[in-house]
Structure 1
Amino acid sequence: MSIPATHSAIVSVEPDSPFVQIERETPSPTGFDVLVRVDAVSVNPVDTKVRSSFDPSDGPKVLGFDAVGEVVAVGSDARIFEPGDRVFYAGSIARDGSNAQYQLVDERIVGHAPSSLSAEDAAAVPLTAITAWESLFVRLGLGKDSTGTLLVMGAAGGTGSMIIQLARALTSLTVVAAASRGESRDWATEMGAHHVVDRHSLVDEVGALAPDGVEYVFSPFSEGNVGAYAAVMAVHGQVVAIDDPVGLDLMPLKAKSQTWHWELMFTVPLSLPESTSQHTILDEVSRLIDNGTLRSTRTTTLSPFDVDTLQDAHRRVESGGTIGKVVVVR
């Protein structure tokens, strides 16, 4: 395959400024990197957070994390992939992102894309699948024989949708989803939740379902909810959270010796670059999708891949009411 000397990328020049399309030199992979021709991306809340807070002195910022595409070249240390392989990944917050025609990514955080999915469906999966997997099986240490009750907040969101699916498929937990709108409740049920409660009356409804308390809580929205979590959790209950609340007071958890975990999927690429754990997770997720155990959470597909479409995708995600995932496809 001929690799062009330059390629187009969509960048932010200043925080919260409109996107701009520029032409950049196409890089060559070295070390463990693979060069991927990007076919589709999905937009996550972290994309909008980075767009609002990056340092403009570092130059134009190429955003984008989730991607699916084809490997077109590999570095000298790369052993997992070769040109022609179809891959998906969530990338690293410390590197140029996927909102470009070509992207360098470390193969150790890349997976083989599910053969049964289109590019748009595959692009919706990686970041939320890794986050959900690490939340359940690394932070909480759950497994096939784990029992008890898991409360999933933000159940209709991208990660909540994956948490529900993985918990149902790979544990013996009872899954309780928190949602409010009718379409969100329907989506959580479709993902596999055993029960759906109204997040506005959380303590009462969860208390009725689990009088002795739930053992686990997944929290994408923690601010203002710590007291409610402490109330609905059992003694020694555990929360795993993925958001960025400022000055969070965790003292309500002390009375019942409850535990708070943080999950950040970028910890591995940033702090443990030699780890192949995320490659392993993505390959297993791909297998589970291809055998029908898991499904993509794509609900919205936008095109063409240009500044206006990407701006639209960011606005939809920033609204906070998105069900599933928003994908932008070439």
Structure 2
Amino acid sequence: MIDASGTTYRAWTWHAPGEPEQLRLEDRILVSPLPGEIVVRNTMIALNPVDWKVIAASPDGWKPGHVPGVDGVGIVAQAGDGVGIPLGTRVAYHQGLGKPGSFTEYTTVDADCALVIPDGVSDESAAGIPGPGLTAWQALAKVPDMPNRDVLVTGVGGAVSLILAQLALRRNWRVWATASPVHRERLLALGVAGTFDYRDEGWRAQLVAALGPRRLFAAFDTTSGAYARGLAPLVGYNGHLVCIQDRLESPPLPPFTTALSLHEVALNSAHGHATAEGWREWRQAGAHLLDAVRIGALDLQQYIVTGFDDLPASLSALKHRRIKGQKILVRIEA
């Protein structure tokens, strides 16, 4: 593997808050990685809702020319001092929002956040693990592992919630889901106890009837803080409300009622606050998820693959829901 420093490569760049179509394609010069870093020659980029959300905002620390994108897959082209990952290794990664991201042919990332992809796992499948898979793992880790409990996962058609529902089933929980009816048969086949159409105003009453004398031990919400607030009355005594898409700034129930525990999930926070032990847990969780994909024990969201030159249009299609129920991946040709 030769030193790629000085290589000219292409990157989609952000210059002001706006729409994905405002990204600009620019040439960059590759620089050598610092100690603890790797340079990944990207082969696949995974698009996530957070990508268009931050492009529409003005994140702290972003300056004109910033490269967005959090999830990528590729080959280790260079490694800084102290890195134990061999050159040529296939890796998947989740980049911090404040760092140059994955919308480019080369990305420099901390080796701590890189997941080594096992043989037998395609780039397409691996691309669905860093953001969605580790978010699902982090959400599940908020709740004690107590068997024979009922839990709810909302929006189980999205990448995060689909993985989360399967991880919850492994805990011997009875898992209920809100989802579009188009996903019902697949979810029941995976072992979900029942699904409810989130567009039906009576779905909460239907869930209560299905639970009978039981109550939810946990509700995992992937919609919004306001939506999560409406789930709180469904959770039983000493239960848990886990907010993945947003957070609640104030308790949703009066004090000293069901003693509800609130949790927020923020995968990006690891990049600013995780310790060495936290990163070891991150990599271990990622390895378990990738191995589950390898042996066929984890179903992922269906995907479509688009080209690098079409990245802004693909991200716009995700934002404006012109593509539903499928993850959008962007292939970078060698």
Q: Same fold (TM over 0.5)?
A: yes
How is 1:149-188 mapped onto 2 (pairs within 5 angstroms)?
149-168=150-169, 170-179=170-179, 181-188=180-187
Q: 1:278 to 1:12 in 2, by over 3 A?
A: same
CA distance in structure 2 between the aligned counterparts of 1:205 and 1:304, rounded to whole angstroms:
43
User: 1:48 aligned to 2:52?
Assistant: yes
Q: Which residue of 2 aligns with 1:309?
A: 311
CA distance in structure 1 between the aligned counterparts of 2:164 and 2:324, rounded to whole angstroms:
16
In the alignment, residue 330 of structure 2 is paired with which amino acid? V
Contact 1:87 1:112 in 2 (8 A): yes
Q: Secondary structure at the match of 1:76?
A: coil
CA distance in structure 2 between the aligned counterparts of 1:141 and 1:66, rounded to whole angstroms:
28
Q: Which residue of 2 aligns with 1:26?
A: 30
CA distance in structure 2 between the aligned counterparts of 1:33 and 1:54, rounded to whole angstroms:
26
CA distance in structure 2 between the aligned counterparts of 1:118 and 1:228, rounded to whole angstroms:
39
CA shift for structure 1 position 192: 4.0
Contact 2:178 2:196 in 1 (8 A): yes
Q: Secondary structure at the match of 2:83?
A: coil
Contact 1:310 1:328 in 2 (8 A): no
CA distance in structure 2 between the aligned counterparts of 1:226 and 1:177, rounded to whole angstroms:
14
CA distance in structure 1 between the aligned counterparts of 2:322 and 2:288, rounded to whole angstroms:
29
Q: Secondary structure at the match of 2:317?
A: helix
Q: Which residue of 2 aligns with 1:278?
A: 282
How is 1:226-245 mapped onto 2 (pairs within 5 angstroms)?
226-244=228-246
Q: 1:107 to 1:178 in 2, by over 3 A?
A: same
CA shift for structure 1 position 239: 1.0
Q: Which residue of 2 aligns with 1:66?
A: 71
Contact 1:161 1:191 in 2 (8 A): no
Q: Which of the numbers 9, 12, 24 marks the counterpart of 1:10? A: 12
CA shift for structure 1 position 87: 0.6
Contact 1:110 1:278 in 2 (8 A): no
CA shift for structure 1 position 323: 1.6
Q: Which of the numbers 281, 288, 294 marks the counterpart of 2:292? A: 288
CA shift for structure 1 position 102: 0.5
Q: Secondary structure at the match of 2:304?
A: strand
Q: Secondary structure at the match of 1:156?
A: coil
CA shift for structure 1 position 289: 1.5
Contact 1:69 1:87 in 2 (8 A): yes
Q: 1:227 to 1:112 in 2, by over 3 A?
A: closer
How is 1:126-137 mapped onto 2 (pairs within 5 angstroms)?
126-137=130-141
CA distance in structure 2 between the aligned counterparts of 1:172 and 1:165, rounded to whole angstroms:
10
Give me the TM-score of the superposition, normalised by structure 2.
0.89
Q: Secondary structure at the match of 2:41?
A: strand
Contact 2:10 2:28 in 1 (8 A): yes
Q: Which residue of 2 aligns with 1:35?
A: 39
CA distance in structure 2 between the aligned counterparts of 1:225 and 1:62, rounded to whole angstroms:
32
State which drifts further: 320-329 or 207-216: 320-329
In the alignment, residue 307 of structure 2 is paired with which amino acid? P
Contact 1:43 1:314 in 2 (8 A): no
CA distance in structure 1 between the aligned counterparts of 2:314 and 2:110, rounded to whole angstroms:
29
Give me the TM-score of the superposition, normalised by structure 1.
0.90
In the alignment, residue 257 of structure 1 is paired with which amino acid? A
In the alignment, residue 78 of structure 1 is paired with which amino acid? V
Contact 2:197 2:203 in 1 (8 A): yes
CA shift for structure 1 position 324: 4.3
Q: 1:190 to 1:53 in 2, by over 3 A?
A: farther
CA shift for structure 1 position 189: 3.4
Q: Which residue of 1 aligns with 2:321?
A: 319
Q: Secondary structure at the match of 1:134?
A: helix
In the alignment, residue 141 of structure 1 is paired with which amino acid? P
In the alignment, residue 122 of structure 1 is paired with which amino acid? A
CA shift for structure 1 position 57: 6.4
CA shift for structure 1 position 227: 4.9
In the alignment, residue 177 of structure 2 is paired with which amino acid? A
In the alignment, residue 65 of structure 1 is paired with which amino acid? V
Q: Which residue of 1 aligns with 2:82?
A: 77
Q: Which residue of 2 aligns with 1:121?
A: 125
Contact 1:113 1:286 in 2 (8 A): yes
Contact 1:29 1:74 in 2 (8 A): yes
CA distance in structure 1 between the aligned counterparts of 2:75 and 2:249, rounded to whole angstroms:
42
Listed one character per residue, the Cα deviations across residues 288-325 of structure 1 (whole Å, up to 9, x for unaligned) are 2112211332x23232111x333323332442973242
Contact 1:131 1:159 in 2 (8 A): yes
Contact 1:154 1:178 in 2 (8 A): yes
Q: Secondary structure at the match of 1:251?
A: coil
CA shift for structure 1 position 267: 1.7
Contact 2:93 2:130 in 1 (8 A): yes
CA shift for structure 1 position 149: 0.9
Listed one character per residue, the Cα deviations across residues 230-254 of structure 1 (whole Å, up to 9, x for unaligned) are 2211111101112236856523575
Q: Which residue of 1 aligns with 2:95?
A: 91
Q: Which residue of 1 aligns with 2:258?
A: 256
Contact 2:232 2:252 in 1 (8 A): no
Q: Give 4+ residue runs of structure 1 displaced > 6 Å after superposition.
A: none
Count residues in correspondence: 322
